[in-house]
Chain A
Amino acid sequence: NAGVTQTPKFRILKIGQSMTLQCTQDMNHNYMYWYRQDPGMGLKLIYYSVGAGITDKGEVPNGYNVSRSTTEDFPLRLELAAPSQTSVYFCASRTSGQQYGYTFGSGTRLTVV
Chain B
Amino acid sequence: TQLLEQSPQFLSIQEGENLTVYCNSSSVFSSLQWYRQEPGEGPVLLVTVVTGGEVKKLKRLTFQFGDARKDSSLHITAAQPGDTGLYLCAGVPYYGQNFVFGPGTRLSVLP
Contact = CB atoms under 8 A, between A and B. Distances in A.
A joins B in a complex: yes
Interface of A: 4, 33, 35, 40-45, 48, 58, 90, 92, 98-107
Contacts of B4: 42
Contact of B44 (A43, A100, A104, A107): A104
B101 A42 contact: yes
Of the listed residues B30, B35, B43, B100, the one surrounded by the most CB atoms of chain A closer than 10 A to its CB is: B43
Interface of B: 2, 4, 9, 30-31, 33, 35, 40-45, 48, 50, 88, 90, 92, 98-104
Of the listed residues A4, A33, A43, A48, the one surrounded by the most CB atoms of chain B closer than 10 A to its CB is: A43
A42 B45 CA distance: 15
A42 B4 CA distance: 10
Contacts of A43: 43, 88, 90, 101
A60 to B, nearest CB: 12
A58 B90 CA distance: 15
Of the listed residues A4, A90, A100, A104, the one surrounded by the most CB atoms of chain B closer than 10 A to its CB is: A104
Contacts of B9: 40
Contact of B45 (A40, A45, A102): A102
